[in-house]
Amino acid sequence: MKILLVLAAVGLCWAQYNPHTKPGRTSIVHLFEWRWADIALECERYLGPNGFGGVQISPPSENIIITNPWRPWWERYQPVSYKLCTRSGNEDEFRNMVTRCNNVGVHIYVDAVVNHMCGAGAGSGSGGTCGSYFNAQTEDFPAVPFSGWDFNDGKCKTGSGEIENYNDPYQVRDCRLVSLLDLALEKDYVRSKIAEYMNYLIDIGVAGFRIDASKHMWPGDMKAFLDKLKNLNTQWFSSGSKPFIYQEVIDLGGEPIKSSENWGEGWGLMPSDKALVFVDNHDNQRGHGAGGASVLTFWDPRQYKMATGFMLAHPYGFTRVMSSFWWPRDFQNGKDINDWVGPPSFEDGTTKPVTINPDTTCGNDWVCEHRWRQIRNMVIFRNVVDGQPFSNWWDNNSNQVAFGRGNKGFIVFNNDDWYMNINLNTGLPAGTYCDVISGQKEGNHCTGIQVHIGADGVANFQISNQAEDPFIAIHVDAKL
């Protein structure tokens, strides 16, 4: 399988690996740049009923408003305060979302931007999403408050103050990342302000945090502010629960998944209980960060659905599904010059709502991969087979592979250029099953391919290389 999955380190410098998803829920979805009001609705009408465990949200802290280019997605990663108002919504809408999602068993994970403030060239004024005053030139952020004392200018040893050599860990952690004002995280005051922000969110009811730009912080500094965090809100979490922390320290593992059944810990990857696994994220689907052209995204839907299916069927790691928005790609000299484009929005820059079409897909240029039948049904598959061992691996020494999850589920892929016709031991009880990729079980009938398993656990699988989705997945809850 020529598929690349990406891993993020989970809580490496702070032993907090429990995502606190409700029992029977095993995946989260990143609703990138969604409005809080739309996330609340999606939790109630779709994510809760379909077994999603949580939502990673875009940064909720006040950011600078950037108009050149016009309202890019990355303005959300340039904070000017820790007030809760962005183009996704205000604090009341944020609180409403957290409450409504928690109440249907879908938890909220915050993308926390705490390594830096806005860019050094951001000017001054009240150009933040809450209207807070700041002066980037003098490093004055009174709404926090941070002043020039709270930044790393004195520690960085490069002439420009920027990271000039990514192989030098001192530059990577003490200098500015693309001119972003680098916070002095060794100072207890700075650590306390960051912890204060994160604790405010914990009190509201969030379940955890993605720590943005964590490779640009010293592990000891990160541990220091994480040690100041409270336990989770007991209205929704058991007493003594610590927030789930994951850090985007990207490790591509170096190579694609071959016909190799020991992918995961057997490849020397981090232990399964400490890995967050995803096919793509908001950075690398735009060519930012690691991965380059090898990253699969919604732009390659056939391969992308297979990669996501493999990830969700395999027991390794804690899985995150991506939910994107469409933008007008324009490649010039191999680079997408529109990789900055922000979410679907009206002329004044306000984000468009996520509309739902009659066929349950999304409108207004929201891609909503998590609503694609194949991906939603594989999220459910992962829930059904949770706790079952990896079993019954088969491959043809090329790009046809199959494996099971104990006696609960089985999946088969044909990524070759020829027809597949094979009898395989599934490990499942005898009976007729509905393939959840081509369709699904509805009542007592199946809208897709039916798979017949004999008393010996063996079934015949035929998958055309021309099929829209050249893979089949069955599980015990899809037995007819």
State residue 12's pLDDT score: 44
For residue 395, what are the β-bridge partners?
Answer: 401
**Mean of the pLDDT values across residues 225-236?**
97
State residue 289's pLDDT score: 66
What lies within 8 Å, CB to CB, of 477 at 6+ separation is 380, 384, 441
Catalytic residue among 75, 212, 221, 469, which?
A: 212
Under DSSP, is residue 4 helix (H, G, I), strand (E, B) or coil? coil
Print burial letters for 90-117: b (CB count within 10 Å at least 16), e (below 16): beebbebbbebbbeebbbbbbbbbbbbb
Ranges 5-14, 261-270, 462-471, most confident: 462-471
| Residue 50 pLDDT exceeds 70 | yes
State residue 284's pLDDT score: 82
* Residue given tokens 């016909």 in the structure block: 259
* pTM of the model as a whole: 0.94
Task: Please say if 347 is a catalytic residue.
Answer: no
State residue 257's pLDDT score: 41
**Mean of the pLDDT values across residues 84-96?**
99
State residue 405's pLDDT score: 98
Band of residue 259 on the pLDDT scale cut at 50, 70, 90: very low
Task: Please say if 212 is a catalytic residue.
Answer: yes
Q: Name the CATH superfamily housing domain 389-478.
A: Golgi alpha-mannosidase II (2.60.40.1180)
| Residue 423 pLDDT exceeds 80 | yes
For residue range 300-315, what is the model confidence (pLDDT) as tens digits? Answer: 999 999 999 999 999 9
State residue 237's pLDDT score: 97
Residue among 207, 290, 206, 308 at smallest CA distance from 248? 290
**Mean of the pLDDT values across residues 163-173?**
91
Catalytic residue among 248, 339, 369, 469, which?
A: 248
All structural domains of the chain with their residue ranges: 6-383, 389-478
**Mean of the pLDDT values across residues 397-416?**
96
- The fold of the 6-383 domain, in CATH, is TIM Barrel (3.20.20)
Peptide bond into 69 cis (omega under 30): yes
Higher per-residue confidence, 358 vs 9: 358
**Mean of the pLDDT values across residues 342-361?**
98
